[in-house]
Amino acid sequence: MRSIASARWVALLAALVTFALPLIADAAGSITGTIKLNGPAPQRQALDMSKDANCQALNQNGRLDDIFLVKDGKVQNVFVYIKEGLGDQTFDISAGSATHIDQTNCMFTPRVIGVMAGQEFEIRNSDPTLHNVHSLPSASRAFNNAMPFKGMTLKRKFAAPEVMVRIKCDVHPWMAAWVGVLRHPFFAVSGEDGTFTISNVPPGTYTIEAWHEKMGTQTASVTVADGSAAAADFTFKASAE
């Protein structure tokens, strides 16, 4: 009797384990890397803000453009994202607004951000002068709004994925920002040291793409194992075209 009971308990335990295994999700990993520049960085150009006294007053020592921000051969403001490999998976939009874009000292800051399609992001005017935010998407409805007051904010979103959407200021032609719009949350922007990290990535093999507004795009294949960090570095050749 005792052996029969033991056998039944073993069978029950095995059944419970078999049932529970599919419920244990694989641990998310990450993709990290560095954006490097092969060769000297293009010279940054001085911006002429003389037509707006407020902008000139905010930049009394002058201002250089921020198209190429390179330090020790590492490139800032490169948008890196998973381009292929997620299949038909769907992802919820994060609650609240995404990273905001500020208009400060007559520049868009940050210059590059990422959002999910349908996710609100905030645009602010921190300057005591008139700005205008004019988006130029090809897959979503454009917006074109004057922001005449310091402290003014507005919230906008793009309906469809698109890499990248340009935002300009019609009042100040040197001002530009770029928004990467994706159907998923797996993206990052390289920082001052050129590094990036895409977090909470499900295990799998992916094609990732790195985008820079002047140097174009590069792709790489990476495999993220269960709970691990995959590495992917990119090296661009400088071009001012």
Nearest to 131 by CA among 168, 164, 178, 177: 168
Per-residue pLDDT, 22 = 43
Task: Tell me which residues of the chain have a pLDDT lower than 50.
Answer: 1, 10, 12, 15-24, 240-241
pLDDT given at position 10: 45
**Two structure tokens written together for 200:** 């909470």
8 Å CB contact between 93 and 116: yes
Q: How far is CA 168 from CA 9, 39, 222, 226, in A?
A: 69, 29, 34, 41
pLDDT at 238: 78
Each domain of the chain, given as residue ranges in start order, spans 26-237
The string of DSSP codes covering 173-239 is: TT-EEEEEEESSS-EEE--TTSEEEEEEEPSEEEEEEEEETTTEEEEEEEEE-TT-EEE--EEEEP-
- The token duo for 34 is 């560095």
Q: Is 1.10.8.80 the CATH number for 26-237?
A: no
- In this prediction, residue 11 carries a pLDDT of 54
Q: What pLDDT is stored for residue 94 in this prediction?
A: 74
Instruction: Return d(Cα 150, Cα 16) in angstroms, integer.
Output: 62
pTM: 0.86
